[in-house]
Structure 1
Amino acid sequence: MLQKDHQAIDILLAEIDIYELFAFKHCKGRKVKLALCE
């Protein structure tokens, strides 16, 4: 059980990293602020 929870946390953290990287690329140089970018 503990192993499975740890794996789920790792996946979640990886998804957050990808999201933040996407948000950074998506928002860089934009004049119009998106909700994503705040």
Structure 2
Amino acid sequence: MKLFALLIAAVLSMTSVAAYAHSGGTDAKGCHRNHKTNDYHCH
């Protein structure tokens, strides 16, 4: 059972890369605009 849990944890840690850091300052709300796509998003 411990081996199975370890295997699941290893797989999840390799596949859960949903957030990538990127450069760019944020405003007072913690948001900024991507000038290439004109998308405004918050962190």
TM-score class normalised by the smaller sequence: 0.3 to 0.5
Per the normalisation by structure 1, the TM-score is: 0.47
* Bigger strand fraction: 2
Task: Tell which structure's C-alpha radius of gyration is larger.
Answer: 2
TM-score (norm 2): 0.43
